[in-house]
Amino acid sequence: MLYIGIDLGTSAVKLLLMSGDGQIKKIVSREYPIYFPHPGWSEQKPEDWFAETMDGLKELLADCDKNQVSGISFGGQMHGLVILDKDDQVIRPALLWNDGRTWEECDYLNHVVGKEKLSEYTANIAFTGFTAPKILWVRNKEPENFVRIAKIMLPKDYIAYRLTGVHCTDVSDASGMLLFDVKNRRWSKKMCEICGVRPEQLARVYESFQSVGTVLPEIADELGIPHIVKVAAGAGDNAAAAVGTGTVGDGMCNISLGTSGTIFISSEKFGVDRHNALHAFAHADGHYHLMGCMLSAASCNKWWMDGILQTSDYAKEQAAITKLGENHVYFLPYLMGERSPHNDPNARGTFIGMTMDTSRADMTQAVLEGVAFALRDSLEVAKSLGIQIERTKICGGGAKSPLWRKIIANVMNLKVDMIESEEGPALGGAMLAAVACGEYASVEEAARKLVKITKTVEPESELVVKYEERYQKFRQIYPACKSLFQLIQ
């Protein structure tokens, strides 16, 4: 049988076709625009997501035996607010995960409602990217839209709705809304009351590997697939990527170098760090995970290469980097503010340490190292909980760089495992669809049988020592700059 994984990303939707034994048959990608109507704002049109998804599905299925298609599932950008009216029409463009406009609402939630109560209700505190502050923003700033809300959805769930007619979500994606009782895997009545959300406005919650229904007849006919094709709930992009990299079960780790950057640690048990510096979410495997998320990771390198250096030859720029562990230039990668562990929407990208002999290569190296150092910040929080990690998987566009992988291994002092397929959320979505259709008994079984390690980058003791010294300097830069960021907004 054949399974489709749909990764609804920030810049594009990636669609993957997988056979039951894990072979990737075809991959298709479709881009769509992102809008920045004001500094710090970030929006997309859900209708664009669906149009490009359908167009991509038609190309994906063009040359296969469509009667073999058995299931569809998703990975998707998290936290985005999609609101529908009583006729299931989109009310306004979606507010995305990297939208920073809700600082006032976050201040209210964290300091008036209180972080302790938020953590008690949802296992997390308010971040500007989360969905609940966005709902409050609409209530405060666009009351005419707020009163029209009949359904509140997340990005990938809008696609699931358009394919099935079912208003649904999954536990991993719901965990990032700040409306969800993560420990008990259900909506939080208290948080809904705080945000003015009625129960009927929220979707039914499923486990990621559960079927929510079958494709609508008109969708099946348009795509030429059977009417009985199942659609599984899917997962937030990081949980789906964790499935795709085999980061399931207890004590596994994955680092994602995508538009955002994450360190993802799976656990069989529910747990929260006392400062809520890491997100405590439900995992797509039926258990839990901790996650540190930085808002700009590979996007920092893209900004530097495309926008500043105005070059597309990333490999050539990185080839000029020869002095690992010896760079005196530092870069704070906070181009969109920062989430873990600082929770500071005012933070900004910053270079420091340049001298007259600083080179283009030094600046490029600082960008790569700055992302690695910022990821290490979240790893340090996990270590403070007694979690010991010796190795990690790695995925995302940035993971294709051998140099960046080497920097990550030595900054984090972890063995970094490359896997046979680096398709992350799209592959994870296809695997969840396979589980929903009974191809595999569990997510753990699918991961064990399908995910294969092909190469490991080992940390080098000399470089580890050098990077330890530089990391200790890096971690002092943000506190020194924090008050300045507030002045330059």
| Residues in binding site | 78-79
How far is residue 95's CA from residue 369's CA, in Å, rounded to a whole number? Answer: 30
Calculate ∠ Cα 357-300-451, nearest 5°. 125
How far is residue 257's CA from residue 235's CA, in Å, rounded to a whole number? Answer: 18
> Letter for the amino acid at 79?
H
How far is residue 10's CA from residue 75's CA, in Å, rounded to a whole number? Answer: 12
- Tokens 């008036």 -> residue: 112
- Residue 247 DSSP class: -
**Contact in structure between 439 and 20 (CB atoms under 8 Å):** yes
> Letter for the amino acid at 65?
D
How far is residue 445's CA from residue 440's CA, in Å, rounded to a whole number? Answer: 6
Question: Of 48, 146, 40, 167, nearest to 91 (Cα)?
Answer: 146
Q: Which ranges of 268-418 would DSSP assign to H, the alpha helix? A: 298-302, 314-319, 360-384, 402-412
Instruction: Give 277's Cβ-side CA count (13 Å radius).
Output: 18
**Contact in structure between 3 and 26 (CB atoms under 8 Å):** no
| 220 membership: H or E segment, kind and range | helix 217-223
Handedness of CA 8, 10, 12, 18 (dihedral sign): negative
Q: Which residues are catalytic?
A: 237
CA distances from 306 to 277, 303, 349 (A): 32, 6, 16
How far is residue 195's CA from residue 191's CA, in Å, rounded to a whole number? Answer: 6
Residue numbers in the known binding site for substrate are: 78-79
74 SS3 class:
strand
How far is residue 180's CA from residue 187's CA, in Å, rounded to a whole number? Answer: 4
Measure CA 200 to chain center. 27
Contacts of residue 179, defined as CB under 8 A and 6 or more positions apart, other chains included, come to 122, 131, 132, 187, 188, 191, 192, 195, 197, 202
Calculate ∠ Cα 203-204-210, nearest 5°. 125
How far is residue 282's CA from residue 208's CA, in Å, rounded to a whole number? Answer: 10
| Pairing assessment for the beta strands 253-257 and 235-236 based on DSSP bridges | unpaired
| Residue 183, phi then psi, degrees to nearest 5 | -60, -40
